[in-house]
Structure 1
Amino acid sequence: MENQFSASAESPIGVGIIIAYLAIVLLGLIISWKIFVKASKPGWAAIIPIYNIIVLLEIVGRPTWWVILLFIPFVNFVILILICIDLAKSFGKSTAFGIGLFFLNLIFGAILAFGDAVYQGPSAQIPNKLANN
């Protein structure tokens, strides 16, 4: 006897969950694409794993070796919060908006992508102390 409460891929609930998941992923890709284009980066970079993070780090002005930090448990949360705050500031938004980007990424990302925010350059540009001497 088959379990009537199982949510397999053939059930309407399973199909609905898969469709909802794919819609959320597609929305996230569209938002990332639009943010990259606003920052004068290629939109297609948003769909390539790891490279999209490298491009995002370029947008906010952080070093590309920070990608490694995103693979370290617990450290990655701190780094992601800093990246979200830097992204918000790169588009002229506040630190609170950056925190919103971290916790409600799709909502605040859509505001950033489709709103009137203009890219102002990397907010976290780390000064080169050797160049100053």
Structure 2
Amino acid sequence: MDVNDYTAQVFSGTGSIFILVLYILYAVALWKVFSKAGYPGILALIPIVNVIFLVKVAGMSGWFSLLYLIPIVNIVFAIIVAFKEGANFGKGGVFSFFLLWIFPFIGHFIIGFDSSRYRQV
């Protein structure tokens, strides 16, 4: 067995399952966030649609999600979305920067399961 074959077998099985588990956990967090914002939670399961509705939760048009396709602009836009989303849930700038932009997995779980309410700012 070649080393490349072994590496491919290890990462295809274990890595795929790990990525799938992380995606399911993140979808659960987004489901709760979307439900709080008044959108159907099931939209969190669909890969591209969840980004569109995350932009809508931030209070912008879903068409702005196309900005994620432009290099450099996508980083700036992601920060803007994080700050606007945090403001809509009553969170401050530090929370938005660190937990919605740098660590969105944790931030969306906090927003989804805490007592904050969605209000369009």
Same fold (TM over 0.5): yes
Structure 1 unaligned regions, length at least 5: 124-133
Bigger radius of gyration, 1 or 2? 1
User: Hey, what does 1:30 align to over in structure 2?
Assistant: 28
Counterpart selection for 1:74 from 72, 75, 88: 72
Structure 2 unaligned regions, length at least 5: none
User: Hey, what does 1:128 align to over in structure 2?
Assistant: none
Percent sequence identity over aligned pairs: 30
> After superposition, what is the alpha-carbon deviation per residue over 1:52-97, rounded to whole angstroms, capped at 9, x for unaligned?
2332222221133312211111101100111011111110000111
1:3 aligned partner, one-letter code: V
Alignment of 1:57-96 (within 5 A): 57-96=55-94
> Are positions 1:110 and 2:109 aligned together?
yes
CA distance in 2 between partners of 1:69 and 1:80 (Å): 9
Shift of the 114–4 alpha-carbon distance from structure 1 to 2, 3 Å rule, reads: same
Aligned alpha-carbon RMSD (Å):
2.1
CA distance in 2 between partners of 1:56 and 1:3 (Å): 41
CA distance in 1 between partners of 2:53 and 2:7 (Å): 39
The answer to which structure has the higher helix fraction is 2
CA distance in 2 between partners of 1:80 and 1:4 (Å): 36
User: Hey, what does 1:129 align to over in structure 2?
Assistant: none
Conservation of the 8 A alpha-carbon contact between 2:59 and 2:85: no
CA distance in 2 between partners of 1:51 and 1:103 (Å): 21
> Are positions 1:98 and 2:96 aligned together?
yes
Structure 2 length-normalised TM: 0.85
